[in-house]
Structure 1
Amino acid sequence: MIIVEGSFMVFSELFPNAFVSNEAIADQNVLVIPYQQGFLHLPKASLTEREMALIEFLSPSDKVVIDNTWLSFFQGDSALPLSLSEGQMILIGHQRSMPSELLNFFKDLFPNLFTLASLGKQQTLLLLSPDLGNSVETSLSQLLVTLESDFGLALSFYVGKAWPALTERDLATYWRLEYGLCQQYHALEQEEPVISFARLMLRAMTGETSESAGALREQLLETILPVKDSRDLITVLWQEQGNLVQTAQRLFIHRNSLQYRLDKFYQATGLNLKVLDDLALAYLIILQD
């Protein structure tokens, strides 16, 4: 936003409901813009559509308008902003606001991206439609060093679970639980550069299980058990250390049939049993049942 030092008094005369604070307030009815060392808040009800468009257009390119709609949703203060029944959350941690060039890079990297929103100066949200053929965690791990070098910005990634075929209400519940689990992990200050949902759940389930992790475990169990022969599939694959040939032999099926069952399992649960962390999580869940 183009506001020079000492000019806020003039600006407040034009927008008397505007105010500045050190923290961004999560409210879907307020437009928030990074300003100096804090945040400028503008109630949307006091703005015309033309004023909102102009304010966003005049914002410096390396500043991002914070999407309070999503921040408010994750904090449990508002409903899911979009009508969705499936999706995968990516949370990007960064020391300062991400430049527009980096945001555009992520848009190009993920053709299945349907939402990109800033949750503050140090966190950005990506929401993807589930993609069976794309390993998001691997892609980000391979790109991390290059991105940090090119943009001079330390980054961390949380790669969420691909939630498939849920009701909108359930998806909202599980995304909030997932966000809460991620925030608890960040509070420990023992962050990995790239961490997945499965690895985060494994940490929680093998340590002091949080309320969020417990609720997510129960949901995962409810999606795993209805899959035909899921216990045998998970157990044998775990015992064979993920070896598909040996697993197919022990299950007395062709390898193509095994691949079909793995794909169906992913579509039903969002867990890819060919990924060791996902397999370990599925095995631990049925073991504790």
Structure 2
Amino acid sequence: MKIETLFPEAVIRQDRDLSLVQDYLELLLDEQYVYLPKASLSKREQLLLGLSSKSLLGEPQMVDAWQTYFLQKQGRIPQSFECVQMVYIEHRQPLSQELKEFFTSLLVNLEALVDLSPTRTLLLLNQETFFDVETLVQDILPTIESDFGMKLTVFFGNSWTKLKGDELRIYFDNENSLFSEFIHYKSDENLISFSQAILWGLAHRSNLSAIKSKILQDINESKDIRDIIVTMWEEHGNLVQTAQKLFIHRNSLQYKLDKFASLSGLNLKKLDDLAFCYLLILTD
């Protein structure tokens, strides 16, 4: 039975059509690209067809589309996320297919693995359900380097939410440039957190305009967070003293911190994250 009979709304192309990958599920059948509108598919159908698509087109999906989006600055975002994190890996030689497959099996929320250059790879993670990739990679990085005979430098970008238009591409540009500057001056580092790099970038006047604007917006949109940041800094991060000074319950303070972390990707109980937000407020 032909695919057109099962899915009369399918769009069939002889060549890959990157303009369709956001709203359509992509399959490769009989040397033709078949695009099925996601809106017409049940979640079960999307899951089953998606697994088939990954095995036929290569795991993970839409690599070409992401390269076009990030590097050529063309097209719409290939896939939308409620929350997304970009992790950057610097390596002295191209990653082997075996190592790419290892990352794909290791990271359950990996949506795309994109070659930015022969020596840099981007891991695009869906963080709608938070997965602590930083702790995981920190624990196993020495084993990865030993098993694959390759030194890796890993930069963990921020978790971004409420993305509009091409904002993800703008944050990518800021993070990717910051990573390049950071490892140029501090080449001995092999694991770099977002807050570590961002504080270094502020001190060295890196171009962080998009990142600073987004975090300031998150601060301004979060009730009481501006006062909480200033008070926590004055109280050296002590939550009990902060709650007392602001006349709120400790549980209420914790709730506001958790809500801000979900929105901004920043944990104000970490000194580097708190310092970054405090400096943003001072210079606002």
Q: Find the residue that maps to 2:93 and give its secondary structure.
A: coil
- Cα shift at 1:90: 0.4
**Which residue pairs with 1:83 in the alignment?**
79
Output the CA distance in 1 between the equivalents of 2:128 and 2:253. 19
TM-score by length of 1: 0.69
1:150 aligns with 2:151: no
Letter in 2 for 1:278: D
Q: Is the 8 A contact 1:163 1:269 kept in 2?
A: yes
2:134 to 134, 137, 140: 137
Which amino acid is 1:159 matched to? F
Cα offsets for 1:91-149 (capped at 9, x unmatched): 11112222334323323332222112222332221111226754433332222222212
Aligned ranges for residues 215-230 of structure 1 at < 5 Å? 215-230=210-225
Q: Secondary structure at the match of 2:208?
A: helix
Partners of 1:186 and 1:104 in 2: CA distance = 26
Q: CA 1:131–1:199 in 2, change beyond 3 Å: closer, same or farther?
A: farther
Selected match of 1:267 from 256, 262, 269: 262
RMSD between aligned alpha carbons? 3.3
Q: CA deviation at 1:282?
A: 0.8
Q: 1:75 to 1:103 in 2, by over 3 A?
A: closer
Task: Tell me by how many angstroms 1:49 deviates.
Answer: 7.4
TM-score by length of 2: 0.70
- 5+ residue gaps, structure 1, are 1-27, 30-47, 58-63
Structure 2 partner of 1:128: 125
Contact in 1 for aligned 2:232/2:238 (Cα 8 Å): yes
User: Which letter maps to 1:194?
Assistant: L
- Aligned residue for 1:109? 106
Q: Find the partner of 1:70 among 66, 70, 75.
A: 66
Q: Deviations over 1:134-187 (max 9, x none)?
A: 443333222222221222110110100100112132223222222233233344
| Match for residue 251 of structure 1 among 239, 246, 257 | 246
Cα 1:141–1:175 change in 2 (3 A) is same
Change (3 A) 1:76 1:118: closer
Using the alignment, how far apart are the partners of 2:239 and 2:139 within structure 1? 25
Distance verdict in 2 for CA 1:117–1:136, change over 3 Å: same
Residue 281 (structure 2) pairs with residue 286 (structure 1) = yes
1:98 maps to what in 2? 95
| Matched residue type, 1:73 | Y
Size of the aligned set, in residue pairs, is 235
Deviations 1:73-101 (A, max 9, x none): 33353134413244110011112222334
Match of 1:21 in 2: none
CA apart distance, 1:235: 1.6
- 1:112·1:131 contact (CA, 8 Å) conserved in 2? no
What's the CA shift for 1:223? 1.9
- Gaps in structure 2 of 5+ consecutive residues: 1-17, 20-28, 34-54
Cα-to-partner distance string for 1:55-74 (whole Å, 9 max, x where unaligned): xx9xxxxxx9x955434433
SS in 1 for 2:221: coil
Deviations 1:6-44 (CA, angstroms, capped at 9, x unpaired): xxxxxxxxxxxxxxxxxxxxxx89xxxxxxxxxxxxxxx
Asked if the contact 1:75/1:176 (under 8 Å) is kept, the reply is no
| Paired position in structure 2 for 1:231 | 226
**Identity over aligned pairs, percent:** 39
2: CA distance between counterparts of 1:153 and 1:213? 31
State the alpha-carbon separation in 2 of the partners of residues 242 and 148 from structure 1.
36
Q: Does 1:180 align with 2:170?
A: no
Structure 2 CA distance for partners of 1:179 and 1:259, relative to 1, 3 Å? same
Q: Distance in 2 between matches of 1:143 and 1:136?
A: 11
